[in-house]
Amino acid sequence: MEDSINRYREYLKSELSSAALYAELAEVETDQKRSAVFRELSSAEISHANVWSTKLGVDTPDPKLDLVCKVYLAVAKTFGIRWILPLLIREEEGEIDKYYEEKDALDVAQESRQHARLLKGLARGQTDPVPLWEGPTSRVRQSGSLRAAVLGINDGLISNFSLVMGVAGGTSNAEFVVLAGVAGLLAGAFSMAAGEYISMRSQRDLYEHEIHKESIEIRNWPDEETEELQQIYQAKGIPDEQARQIARHIMADPEVALDTMVREELGLDPDQLGSPSGAALASFTAFAFGAAIPVIPYLAGLGQTALFASATLVSIALLLVGATLAIWSGNRPYWGALRMLIAGGAAGLVTFTIGSLIGVSIDHLA
């Protein structure tokens, strides 16, 4: 009984926090139709909260953001709502898993499924729920983009912070530190962008080659491809005759046949192959943003306090990045933030120490 009460309290707290977040996002969103979707979601979360407060025998408290939702809101206000949509989708799908275990919460679970589909629709730029069968692919790709952006910021932050600390340890000349920091920012950002472009271009070329091969096979050997698609559906549990009819119907239209075979046989989404130039730009921007943080105090001309200010700014950024990655992975944000701070701080401390030793050695030789 005590376990049930504790679960209900957690559910109530989660639903109220989600309701508060959706209400805030409705205010942040400038598009009226999308804003209305968030208001609808907020009202639904209040209804879910009423379910759990009734079970607990208490009045439903006012919605209130928890720490995780505060981070989500801060990211949405800073970078845009689209950056947190994959995280919101993951939260809704997490609720589905939990509520499936509650015998009298299946209605709430079903509504959470609808919420996830609505959020996936918003991630695609629409206000209608996505079809059920398309949802998982969208979620994986969107969350992957978010992770790549956060990791890009983290790479720029730690690498350039280490560079700045190393140079600052070796010299008190702020101009040298700025030169090194800006050079590190540009070199790292262009290197990341070039690497991402080549990687994405190579991957896209490979996928397009495989799709082209599939189109040739469908055009030249339609009977074999029909049999292959039939076997795919049979492996999914569809009876032989039905699988044969479905395969023949699909193969009657070459465009539909190609799209289906690419998805079923190759496991690819033809509409989601990725943009090499877009990936390169995103990588450049993310790295440059992170790499600029440790240099800002020196560019501002803070003099002797620039080193301390740089370390402070970077520490705050490391905490935010660490917490964001932890939340995305479903872990505690506090530990993720602390782990990132320790790793980044250690890198900066080591390079600062080495820079100091090299600086002393050079002064001694001079």
Distance CA 119, CA 139 (A): 10
The pTM of the full predicted model, rounded to 2 decimals, is 0.59
Give Dmax (Cα) for the chain. Answer: 88
Region 246-253: mean pLDDT is 91
* Nearest by Cα to 227 from 210, 212, 209, 240: 240
- Mean pLDDT check: name the lowest of 26-30, 233-237, 358-362: 358-362
**pLDDT at 159 (0 to 100):** 92
Locate 205 and state its tokens. Answer: 């070329």
Distance CA 228, CA 233 (A): 9
Distance CA 10, CA 97 (A): 14
Distance CA 336, CA 323 (A): 5
**pLDDT at 140 (0 to 100):** 40
Residue 254: which H helix or E strand, with range? helix 254-264
Distance CA 296, CA 182 (A): 10
At 314, phi and psi to the nearest 5?
-65, -40
The answer to whether residue 136 scores a pLDDT higher than 60 is: no
Distance CA 309, CA 126 (A): 43
The answer to whether residue 21 scores a pLDDT higher than 90 is: yes
Could you tell me if 60 and 49 are in contact, meaning their C-beta atoms sit under 8 angstroms apart?
A: yes
Region 21-36: mean pLDDT is 92
Q: What is the pLDDT of residues 64-101, one digit of tens each?
A: 998 888 988 998 998 889 888 888 888 887 777 777 77
Q: What is the pLDDT of residues 167-212, one digit of tens each?
A: 988 888 888 999 999 999 999 999 988 988 898 888 888 888 888 8
- Mean pLDDT check: name the lowest of 273-277, 280-284, 312-316, 346-350: 273-277
At 87, phi and psi to the nearest 5?
-70, -40
Distance CA 337, CA 330 (A): 13
Confidence of residue 121 (pLDDT cuts 50, 70, 90): confident
Could you tell me if 247 and 204 are in contact, meaning their C-beta atoms sit under 8 angstroms apart?
A: no
Which 3 state secondary structure label does DSSP give 35? Answer: helix
